[in-house]
Amino acid sequence: MTQDLINGSTDMARPVDVVIMAAGKGTRMKSRLPKVLHLLAGRALVRHVLDTASQLSARRVVVITGHGATEVEAELSISTGDTAGFDLRFVRQEPQLGTGHAVQQALPALADDGIVVVLSGDVPLTAADTLRRLIEACGGDKLALLTIDFADPTGYGRIVRQGDAVQAIVEQKDASAEQRAIREIYSGIMAVPAARLKAWLARLGNDNAQGEYYLTDIVKFAVADGVGVVAHKIADPVQVAGVNSPVQLAELERAFQLRQARQFMEQGVRLADPARFDVRGDLRCAQDVAIDVNCVFEGQVSLGEGVRIGANCVIANAAIAANAVIHPFTHIDGEQAGVTVGEGALVGPFARLRPGAQLGAEVHIGNFVEVKNSTLAKGAKANHLAYLGDATVGERVNYGAGSITANYDGAFKHRTVIEADVHVGSNCVLVAPVTLGAGGTVGGGSTITQDTPAGMLSVARGRQVSIANWQRPRK
């Protein structure tokens, strides 16, 4: 134990280390997937907690795993890059003998000079500002607990006070009738000097109704040692809400999405119904954006000024420029390559933009049109029932209904180039690689296998024949 902590010295410049408890099985989730990997707003529960740790400028994050340890560790190792700003470590709790036992496993990874913030991998929405205040309350020399008042505190550890001073946390199964009437509960989140934590954890026993090593027992050790125990009480239950069942997960999802909806509306975004709006990534909106009901935004999405999004759209990894209109039931998914929609473009309804689709200004993509890895220049139109894959389309091109680019030969992808002002008739097949010369016209029903000259009509189809006196077969 460091001498300055023993002497009660306060140093607000102490480094912060975060311990995340993520070893639980989550039996009530009734799932093979480890509980902390279930998704909230498109990200694993424990991923939200890691993101919060990053906002605290944590020096090190120690994740305690147990059930599904291999899956949890693999997921977090992949999704936590060098930009996280902290050193990520994993320790395992096997067997699982309580919360105190869990944190004991993390001790070898914790330096004595820090403040340890203990979080839970299934409590995803604690605000970073709340934790900063908790760390300030700790001050490097006190045990700080995050608490809240619940009308029904059943199942939670009760905060027992003497005056304003916290004397103990009593777990539900060990509480007396008088203690069970206490409404202030411990959230499971604390900030504590690392050196003190190590000394107190060494004194833990399991003489309780559960036969487990309770982390909360360190409160009585702090009191016995004359160390101040303070409570930072909040009023927002969402910040301490854990997930133990699909019902709780759904409730927290809706609470989270409603908060996001309110933030966007405060910024000026018009939402037809904030209860039917889902952001599962990073959505950025300029002025006068309007979004209809049942829209889902995933990954990185930006909406320019005056953009209108129709009902029932799913948009992922896309940049949509000013005054573009995305009509209802459109699906846009840029994945890694991204999708761009130019200023004043019209897309949908029932359109699909896939990775690499780049639409210029005033482009029209209509119902049941799919675009993949293709660039459409200003004013190009594909209004009905068409496919453009691996294509470069010039300005003012009109691409007919039922036409497709045959871009795949079974082994390789090939590109189609359609130069400016080309008119492609309905039900055409453009067999790549092929170039349609500027200003040319392709007759409806043509299968084009060779480059077409500029300014000419190109027709490639069987000659129409009418047979006289022909009779249909009869039964």
Q: 337: part of which helix (H) or strand (E)?
A: none
Q: Beta strands 441-442 and 277-285: pairing type? A: unpaired
Catalytic hit among 331, 384, 414, 423:
384
**Cα gap 475→236, rounded to integer Å:** 77
Residue 194 backbone phi and psi in degrees, to 5 = -60, -45
Peptide bond into 453 cis (omega under 30): no
| Two structure tokens written together for 304 | 């320019």
User: Tokens 């000013």 belong to which residue?
Assistant: 322
101 is catalytic: no
- Under DSSP, the state recorded for 168 is E
Exposed e or buried b per residue across 230-242, where buried means at least 16 C-beta atoms within 10 angstroms of its C-beta: bbbebeeebbbbb
**Cα gap 84→45, rounded to integer Å:** 17
| Two structure tokens written together for 21 | 């408890």
Measured torsion, CA atoms of residues 440, 446, 452, 455, in degrees rounded to the nearest 10: -20
- Read off the amino acid at residue 339: V
User: Tokens 């470590």 belong to which residue?
Assistant: 89
Are residues 84 and 51 in contact, defined by beta-carbon separation less than 8 angstroms? Answer: no
Residue 293 backbone phi and psi in degrees, to 5 = -75, 160
**Cα gap 341→162, rounded to integer Å:** 63
Catalytic residue set = 384
